[in-house]
Amino acid sequence: MQQTDVGFGATLTSEGCHFCLYGPDILTLAVVLFDKEGIATARHRLQRQENNHWTVFIPGIGENTGYAFWVTTATGPSAQWLLDPHAHRVQHHPARHSGPDRVAAPEWIAYTTYHDFDWQGCERPAIALEKMVLCEVHVKGYTRANPDLPAHLRGTYSGLCHPVTLAHFRQSGITSLQLMPIAAKADETHLAAKSLTNFWGYNPIAWSAPDERFASADPVRECKTMIRTLHAHGIEVILDVVYNHTAEEGNGGPVFHFKALDSQSYLKDEHGQFKNYTGCGNTPDLSHPPMLQAILQSLRSWVLNYQVDGFRFDLAATLGRNHDHFSSESAFFTAIRNDPVLSSVKLIAEPWDIGPDGYQCGAFPAGWHECNDQFRDHWRSFWLHDAPASAVAPHLLGSQAQFPAPNWPQKYSINYICYHDGFTLQDLVSFNDRHNHANGENNRDGHPDNRSNNQGTEGLAATAAIQKRREKQKRNLMTSLLFSLGIPHLLGADLHSHSQQGNNNAYCQDNDTSWVNWALSKEAHTFRSWLQSLIQLRQTVMPAIIAAMADKTSAPATIHWLTPAGTPMDDQSWTGRQPFSCLIQADDNHALFYLFNPDDHPVRFRLPSSMHNWTCLVDTAEQQLTVRNIQQSDCLVRPASMVILIPRP
């Protein structure tokens, strides 16, 4: 049970517990211990070291001992409670008991934690990048409404790894789950005033503590059990982590820890006001060594103690900031590259924030894959509006302006059509406008540029013809996603045709709006079966194509852009929303022929005369996938649909 590395926070050994905080702004610091009822039982003073570390070793302390810090600072109140920002387990406690000096007990209490766990010899799946199919889910939202799960497991870590859920993931061909934030969070003050909650969890209060709202008892053990079980079934776990801000908000916001401990923790302007490059009130300063150390310690904990396979970093441009400037050689990226633990896991960046120099798609270092919003926008515009072929052609081939093929596999585009923020796939083809009134912000929140198309009627209720058109556009968008070069990212809710009733920013909706609907309609069931089959089919074709194009030792792939007549595309062909085709010859054994028809009338495509035998893998005009051989020298592509062919030996 002994842990020998003493870092920030509470570190248990077989003899007791080390406590350590970095606090240059503190005058006095004590750790107060609590019993199971939340009543203070003892107080121990920490001593300031020359490096502004405050430390104490308390013998006899074991696991699950509650604690909080009682501090005085030069600038704050005479005394106040602080939560350990490095805690491995925290609980929210209503202030109902008395603490030291007869003051109200803390709102948040941390608990000492051992990380001993029987991993049963289970190793990380180590999915090859070209075989990854990412699926983004919310631990609670994905299973909360599944009637096939035991009621007490719905919405929990255990529910996400239940045999019923595992069977669904396996049948869907999902290789890697990207979990929306599972670190402990606090609700923003403006939500509390509206009796709403931060359902998504992008407001962290303790970076290293799994959220107790997803556990029936011990969140640490249940979270590890979930990851162990997913690994045993060949599924990776990628954590969506939020190190770009904390729950302390901005000027006048709550004080939980860093604000009182170290005034240099956050970026500030010349007047001492918090820089808000995140839209959440504050921005950590990762050029400040103690803050950088705190984040690296948290990341290592998730890898070493929970065996996670990688991270998706929310608003990751913030992590490379030196105030108004971004650098791919920042202290954070350098530290990750040089860390033997963190450099070995999968790293995904959301490559922007809202500050100056904030959009950095393609600018992250080698080893970092990046979410590609341009892929999303251009494919939506092509199928749902009037974008020309020139808008989507680069993204079919991996968005090489931002992610050049010579940099593969060290750096891929993370392709997506839908993410947790924005419309679900069903809403993308059912609503022209956002409908976010339930969020209490007069429908002003959420992104205004959705590039959606309701196909003629706003809302879910529609004629049979509109429903048919919507389903076909969903198939077009998913086929474009799964058969483009790069790493595909699916929104888990889209496997269920889940609708958020037009809400494109459901971050505060802990209800049926966000809880994925498992009671599928006939159309939703048909689409799920089709999408599951499409993913499985993708896995038989795309990994070899991507691997061949990433192979530095082989000849470069040949790409031919053709008109329906089979002639090379000229300048006129690239303008306007016209049918086109693309032949990718990755090597002697791997080729794909894409036929795109965005028009409202059928189009015949002449097939290359040099290759006479073709097999049709996908025809999005069909509700079911049926692989068939093409016998003639041309191929009919029906209105607003696409076809993918492979050469037949």
Query: SS3 for 239?
Result: strand
Whole-angstrom distance, CA of residue 617 vs CA of residue 614:
9
Can you give the pTM of this predicted structure?
Answer: 0.96
- 458 lies in the same domain as 569: no
Whole-angstrom distance, CA of residue 303 vs CA of residue 344:
10
Q: Tell me whether residue 1 is in a domain.
A: no
| Cα 369 → chain centroid | 12
- 469 lies in the same domain as 331: yes
| Confidence check: pLDDT of 233 > 70 | yes
Is residue 329 annotated as part of the catalytic site, yes or no?
no
Among 544, 563, 586, give the residue marking a domain's end. Answer: 544
Exposure string of 381-415, with b = 16+ CB inside 10 Å and e = fewer, is bbbbeebbbbbbbebbbbbbebbebeebeebbbbb
Amino acid, res. 476: N
| Confidence check: pLDDT of 433 > 70 | yes
Q: Tell me whether residue 38 is in a domain.
A: yes
Q: Tell me whether residue 123 is in a domain.
A: no
Angle at 36 between CA 32 and CA 39, to 5 degrees: 45
Q: Tell me whether residue 4 is in a domain.
A: no
Catalytic residue among 285, 350, 357, 494: 350
Q: Tell me whether residue 165 is in a domain.
A: yes
Any idea what the CATH number is for the domain that residue 617 is in? 2.60.40.1180
Phi and psi (nearest 5°) for 152? Answer: -75, -10
Start-to-end Cα distance in the chain: 60
- 160 lies in the same domain as 83: no
Tell me the percentage of the chain whose pLDDT exceeds 90.
89
Stated as kind and residue range, the H or E segment containing 183 is: strand 183-185
- 104 lies in the same domain as 205: no
- 637 lies in the same domain as 584: yes
Whole-angstrom distance, CA of residue 524 vs CA of residue 508:
25
Sign of CA dihedral 222, 223, 229, 230: positive
Any idea what the CATH number is for the domain that residue 199 is in? 3.20.20.80
Is residue 350 annotated as part of the catalytic site, yes or no?
yes
Strands 236-241 vs 310-313: parallel, antiparallel or unpaired? parallel
- 44 lies in the same domain as 154: no
- 560 lies in the same domain as 485: no
- The predicted pLDDT at position 337 comes to 97
Task: Retrieve residue 513's tokens.
Answer: 């709006």
User: What's the Cα-to-Cα distance from 559 to each of 397, 413, 525, 592, rounded to whole Å?
Assistant: 9, 19, 37, 10
Cis-peptide, bond into residue 409, ω within 30° of zero: yes
Using pLDDT thresholds of 50, 70 and 90, give the confidence band for residue 435.
very high
What does the pLDDT look like over 121-138, one tens digit per residue? Answer: 999 999 999 999 999 999
Which residues constitute the domain of residue 341? Answer: 131-255+262-544
- The predicted pLDDT at position 95 comes to 61
What does the pLDDT look like over 302-355, one tens digit per residue? Answer: 999 999 999 999 999 999 998 999 999 999 999 999 999 999 999 999 999 999
- 193 lies in the same domain as 45: no
Whole-angstrom distance, CA of residue 87 vs CA of residue 112:
8
What does the pLDDT look like over 176-196, one tens digit per residue? Answer: 999 999 999 999 999 988 999
Any idea what the CATH number is for the domain that residue 67 is in? 2.60.40.10
What does the pLDDT look like over 351-390, one tens digit per residue? Answer: 999 999 999 999 999 999 999 999 999 999 999 999 999 9
| Cα 566 → chain centroid | 41
Tell me the percentage of the chain whose pLDDT exceeds 70.
97
Among 47, 79, 111, give the residue marking a domain's end. Answer: 111
Strand partners, 628: 616
- 530 lies in the same domain as 608: no
Q: Tell me whether residue 423 is in a domain.
A: yes
Whole-angstrom distance, CA of residue 90 vs CA of residue 366:
35
Contact by Cβ (8 Å): 191, 198: yes
Number of domains comprising the chain: 3
Q: Tell me whether residue 419 is in a domain.
A: yes
Q: Tell me whether residue 315 is in a domain.
A: yes
Residue 14 CB partners (closer than 8 Å, separation 6+) = 1, 2
Q: Is 24 left (phi over 0), alpha (psi -120 to 50) or beta?
A: alpha
- 210 lies in the same domain as 69: no
Catalytic residue among 314, 357, 427, 494: 314
Whole-angstrom distance, CA of residue 317 vs CA of residue 238:
19
Phi and psi (nearest 5°) for 201? Answer: 95, 15
- 102 lies in the same domain as 168: no
H runs (alpha helix) in 483-584 = 522-550
| Confidence check: pLDDT of 155 > 80 | yes
Task: Retrieve residue 362's tokens.
Answer: 């393609």
Among 489, 515, 544, give the residue marking a domain's end. Answer: 544
| Cα 383 → chain centroid | 25
- 601 lies in the same domain as 535: no
